Amino acid sequence: MRKRKLRELEVSEIGMGCMGFSHGYGTAPDRDYSIEAIRDAFAYGCIFFDTAETYGTQQFYPGHNEQLVGEAVEPFRKEIVLATKLHFRGAAPKDGKELEVEVRRHLEQSLHNLRSDYVDLYYLHRVNEDVPLEDIAGVMGKLIQQGIIRAWGLSQVSGEMLRRADQVTPVSAVQNIYSMVERNCEADIFPYCMEHSIGVVPFSPIASGLLSGKVTRDIKFEGDDVRKFVPQLAKENLEANQPILDVVRQHAAAKGATNAQIALAWMLHKYPNVVPIPGSKNKERILENLKASEITMTEAELSSLEQALGACTVYGHRGHVETEQNPNFAFSKQH
């Protein structure tokens, strides 16, 4: 698979979101299946794997996903880029010294879970408005200098938040929601990131399955499946968004690809610094997503697709910036 840069980190141009092996999409698969799926992705050429300390808080326990990923990648740890995320629970640290102690405590637990002595990319999972971003950035700079993390990133932030943090310690990646139906990042995040060689790592790049065309009115999301909270997947919005699916389906048929592959190829051809991390708990879907890297798209084809998408109205936006204080955070933090 071709490679891309998240500032100084070289990664496969499509990564793998691993959350679904622990929670978020209904009943999780068993451990052996999950580990095999991760290793199959590596065998195909994926060298960028994404997890978080909170993944596992529903069906299993906090840290479950990190432990699973750590076991799966242990045989080839030095050959990959491993990303995890910091999340503050409860009261915010009172001062800079306490903040640094707390960040290190979280990181040490993640390192233990991941069976590693360093993290390649350490994200702040969501901004806590009680903790100045500049202070977080300062601590991340110390961790980079000490070699405990190689780089740091932010998740679900605005352009203003990104600029503030980047001025203290250079940010390597921004993990925001981005897809054909969630394009707010094009206004403020992508221009700044392009200018400063920062990678954009979209989560939910297939819009929680909407763009695959496989989600129908009859599907029932059960248990901890976060898709039951995604507004675009509400029955009335599924019908209203059908013109978008028709556009994707037409272009997929012309390229001999699946809808999901076109959704991923579209962003890969739009931006040289974008590295989507589609998530799935199904081995076949994981490999299908990774094979989107094989889809070629001419400038004329991209322009035609953009024009067709631009003529469509999107129903059921999820929103741009999600913070700790956001009332939807209980749902959104799991991404």
Start-to-end C-alpha separation, the chain: 25
Neighbours of 122 (CB within 10 A): 25
Task: In whole angstroms, give the CA distance from residue 316 to residue 328.
Answer: 14
86 DSSP β-pair partners? 124
Neighbours of 65 (CB within 10 A): 29
The amino acid present at 20, given as its one-letter code, is: G
Which residue numbers are catalytic? 55
DSSP summary character for residue 21: G
Please answer whether residues 198 and 273 qualify as being in contact, where contact means their C-beta atoms are separated by less than 8 angstroms.
Answer: yes
Residues 6+ apart with CB under 8 A from 146: none
Please answer whether residues 251 and 262 qualify as being in contact, where contact means their C-beta atoms are separated by less than 8 angstroms.
Answer: yes
Residue with tokens 């199959």: 40
